[in-house]
Chain A
């Protein structure tokens, strides 16, 4: 059993390595070898499977942040700034 385990460690990356690869996998296409080792680890390890899904999800929502972030809840534009922008838009409209 010990020998089999040792052999597995040679082929299958540890959780530490897996998490690094999972992150890198979001930035570039990994080699086939790396992708398979990632896959092998995740077949056996529920923690890393879940970790991988969660960071992938967080990456995706960050791209949506500009549109979906609830920025309206902040202080918002001041009345003074709104007036200034409105005036500028009107001037531009008149020009056009």
Chain B
């Protein structure tokens, strides 16, 4: 009987097809070439060992990305244990004139209509690049807390514990991050008034 070589089950093919994607994601999150390379290698090894558990419900790319994601989160959990110090001034971030005396938004600062429907935006190739740049554009600690929560998917409790912050501060940080990210996306995606 001839053995049929299924490319789906060949880690060499995974490396060829998805290696750069996995490496790019690891680099984005870890910012270290050697660590990122090691993570890709470990991901492919784990995937190969666990291939019988892959049921083909998702694509190979999704499956590999999930394995890498879990490895990155494990690593980040250990690395993120570094207490943050925030001063009150850092936390309350508003633009001058953004809100009226009564706390109502001044029109010129209001959220603009985005040129495309959100789901259509995500289809545009450039969208993800701009998104990553906008996350990177956030102030350092704010961006880090945001990534832990929204990209890595850690829980509020865990992040507060890792970073030694109170929940109230956590919410202020996240509010600030989302606000900054939204504004950055808006200016880079050419929002318009209507």
Contact = CB atoms under 8 A, between A and B. Distances in A.
A65 interface: yes
A51 interface: yes
Interface residues of B, number: 61
A14 B128 contact: no
A19 B182 CA distance: 12
A58 B37 contact: no
Interface residues of A, number: 52
A15 B99 contact: yes
A89 to B, nearest CB: 5
A62 B171 contact: no
Contacts, number: 164
Given A47-B105, A55-B178, A71 B45 contact: no
A25 to B, nearest CB: 10
Nearest to B125: A70
Contacts of B122: 61, 64, 68
A69 B99 contact: no
A70 B128 contact: yes
Interface of A: 9, 13-17, 19-20, 23-24, 26-28, 45-48, 50-51, 53-55, 57-59, 61-74, 76-77, 81-82, 84-86, 88-90, 92-93, 96
